[in-house]
Amino acid sequence: MEEETYQQSKSKIQDYEPIVGRSYIEELRMLGDRLSGKVIQAINSTYFGGGVAEILSHLVPLLNQLGVDARWNVIQGSNEFFEVTKKFHNALHGKDEKVSPQDLSLFLETSQRNLNELKFYGDIFFVHDPQPVALVTKKKEIGRKWVWRCHIDISNPNQKVWNSLQSFVLDYDAVVFSSPNFAQELPIRQFLIPPAIDPLSDKNKELPQEIIDSVLSKYGLNRDKPMIVQISRFDYLKDPLGTIDAFEKVKKNIDCQLVLAGGTASDDPESETVLNEVKERAAGNPDIHILLIPPGSDIEINALQRAATVIMQKSLKEGFALTVSEALWKRKPVVASAVGGIPLQTKHRFTGLLCYSIDGAVYALRQLLTNAEYAKWLGENGRQHVKQNFLITRQLRDYLLLFLSLDYHGDVIYL
Amino acid sequence: MIQWSQWLIDNWLLVATPVLILLGSFVAGLRLRKVAYDAFSQWLAKTRWEGGQLVVEATQRSFLHWFLLLGIYIAIQVSVLPSGSKIIAGKVIGSLLVLSLVWVTISLSEKLLKLCLTKIKAPQPPTTLAVNIARVTIIIVGVLILLDIWGVPTTPIILVLAAALFIAGLALRDAIPNFISGVQIAWGEQIKVGDFIKVEPGEAGYVTDITWRNTQIKTLEGNFVLIPNNTLARTTVVNYGRPVKKATYPFRFYTRLHLKELTGLKARNLREMVNILREVPDSVVYYHTHHFLEEHHYLTPEPANDFALWVSDALGNEILGERLAAIDTFDFPTIGTLKMRLVDVIEDYLARSRDWQTAPEGREFHFIRSISVILPTPYVAYDLREFVEVIKKITTGSIYFHIFEARLRVPKGTNDFSIWVEDCLEKKELGDKIAHLDPYIYTLESLRAAIIKLIEKNI
Q: Does residue A110 or residue B38 have the better pLDDT?
A: A110
Query: Which of A122-131, B177-186, B449-458 shows the lowest per-residue confidence on average (mean pLDDT)?
Result: B177-186
Residue A191 at interface with chain B, using a CB cutoff of 8 Å: yes
Nearest-angstrom CA–CA distance, A124 and B25: 96
Per-residue pLDDT tens for B139-161? 888 888 888 888 888 788 888 88
Contacts of A24 in chain B (CB under 8 A): 395
**Which ipTM score applies to this complex?**
0.84
Q: What's the pLDDT at B37?
A: 86
- Which residues in chain A have their CB less than 8 angstroms from residue B203's CB? none
Asked if B261 is an interface residue toward chain A (Cβ–Cβ < 8 A), one would say yes
User: B352 CB contacts (<8 Å, ≥6 apart)?
Assistant: none
Question: Is the pLDDT score of B301 beyond 60?
Answer: no
Q: Give the pLDDT of residue B412.
A: 59
Q: Determine whether the interchain pair A181/B260 forms a contact, defined as Cβ–Cβ distance below 8 Å.
A: no
- Number of Cβ within 10 Å of residue A223's Cβ equals 10
Whether the per-residue pLDDT at B275 is higher than 50: the answer is yes
CA A62 to CA A73: how far, in whole Å?
A: 16
CB contact under 8 A, A177 and B262: yes
Option in A180, A388, A415 nearest B375 (CB): A415
How high is the mean pLDDT of chain B?
84
Decide if A401 and B257 are in contact by the 8 Å CB cutoff: yes
What's at A158, amino acid-wise? N
CB spacing of A411 vs B295 below 8 angstroms: no
Round to whole Å and give the CA distance between A103 and A108: 9
Q: Does B396 touch chain A (CB under 8 A)?
A: no
Is the CB of residue A255 less than 8 Å away from at least one CB of chain B? no
Chain B residues whose CB is inside 8 A of the A339 CB are 362
Nearest CA in chain B to A193: B260
Q: Is B154 on the interface with A (CB under 8 A)?
A: no
B367 vs chain A: nearest CA distance in angstroms?
Answer: 8
Angle at CA of residue B24, ends B19 and B28, nearest 5°: 155
pLDDT attached to residue B409: 64
* pLDDT given for residue B361 in this prediction: 81
Does any CB of chain B come closer than 8 Å to the CB of residue A23?
yes
3-state secondary structure chain A: CCCCCCCCCCCCHHHHHHHHCHHHHHHHHHHHHHCCCCEEEEEECCCCCHHHHHHHHHHHHHHHHCCCEEEEEECCCCHHHHHHHHHHHHHHCCCCCCCCHHHHHHHHHHHHHHHHHCCCCCCEEEEECCCCHHHHHHHHHHCCEEEEECCCCCCCCCHHHHHHHHHHHCCCCEEEECCHHHCCCCCCEEEECCCCECCCCCCCCCCCHHHHHHHHHHCCCCCCCCEEEEECCCCHHHCHHHHHHHHHHHHCCCCCEEEEEECCCCCCCCHHHHHHHHHHHHCCCCCEEEEECCCCCHHHHHHHHHHCCEEEECCCCCCCCHHHHHHHHCCCCEEEECCCCHHHHCCECCCEEEECCHHHHHHHHHHHHHCHHHHHHHHHHHHHHHHHHCEHHHHHHHHHHHHHHCCCCCCEEEC
pLDDT at A393: 95
Q: Measured between alpha carbons, how far apart are the two ends of chain B, in Å?
A: 92
Strands B365-383 and A412-414, by their bridges, are: parallel
Chain B contact present for A388, CB below 8 A: yes
Look at residue A2 in the predicted model and tell me its pLDDT: 42
Residues of B in contact with A186 (CB under 8 A): 264
* Contacting residues of A for B374, CB less than 8 Å apart: 412-415
Residue B135: per-residue pLDDT: 85
The DSSP-derived string for B337-350 is HHHHHHHHHHHHHH
Contact across the interface for A184 and B264, Cβ inside 8 Å: yes
- What is the H or E stretch that residue B158 is in? helix B155-171
Q: Do B262 and A415 touch (CB under 8 A)?
A: no
- State how far residue B355 is from chain A, nearest Cα, in angstroms: 24
With contacts defined as CB-CB under 8 Å, which chain B residues touch A27? 255, 257, 375, 377, 395, 397
More confident of the two residues B253 and B244: B253
Half-sphere exposure of B455 (CA within 13 A, CB side): 25
Rounded to whole angstroms, how far apart are CA atoms A253 and A7?
Answer: 45
* Residue in A closest to B390 by C-alpha: A23
**pLDDT tens digits for chain A (415 residues)?**
444 566 676 789 999 999 998 889 999 999 999 999 999 999 999 888 777 888 898 899 999 999 999 999 999 999 999 999 999 998 998 888 888 999 999 999 999 999 999 999 999 999 999 999 999 999 999 999 999 999 988 888 989 899 989 999 999 999 999 889 888 889 999 999 998 999 998 999 999 999 999 999 999 999 899 999 999 989 888 999 999 999 999 999 999 999 999 876 655 667 888 999 999 999 989 999 999 988 888 999 999 999 999 999 999 988 788 899 999 999 999 999 988 889 889 988 889 999 999 999 999 999 999 999 999 999 999 998 999 899 999 999 999 999 999 999 888 899 8
- The three state secondary structure string of B163-212 is HHHHHHHHHCCCHHHHHHHHHHHHHHCCCCCCCEEEECCCCEEEEEEECC
Q: Which of B257, B260, B370 sits opposite A27 (nearest CB)?
A: B257
Domains recognised in chain A with CATH numbers: 13-196+392-405 (3.40.50.2000), 209-389 (3.40.50.2000)
Q: How far apart are the first and last CA of chain A?
A: 38
Nearest CA in chain A to B284: A411
Question: What are B396-421's pLDDT values in tens digits?
Answer: 889 989 988 887 765 556 899 999 99
B111 contacts chain A (CB < 8 A): no
Find, in chain B, the residue whose alpha carbon is nearest to that of A190. Answer: B262
Any CB–CB contact under 8 A between B297 and chain A? yes
Which member of B259, B266, B397 has the closest CB to residue A27?
B397
Residues 146-165 of A with CB under 8 A from B: 155
Cα(A401)–Cα(A410) distance, integer angstroms: 13
| Exposure on the CB side of residue A231, measured as CA atoms within 13 A | 28
Instruction: Note the pLDDT tens digit of each residue in B124-140.
Output: 556 676 777 888 888 88
User: Chain B partners of A150 at a C-beta cutoff of 8 Å?
Assistant: none
Q: How many A/B residue pairs have CB atoms within 8 Å?
A: 98
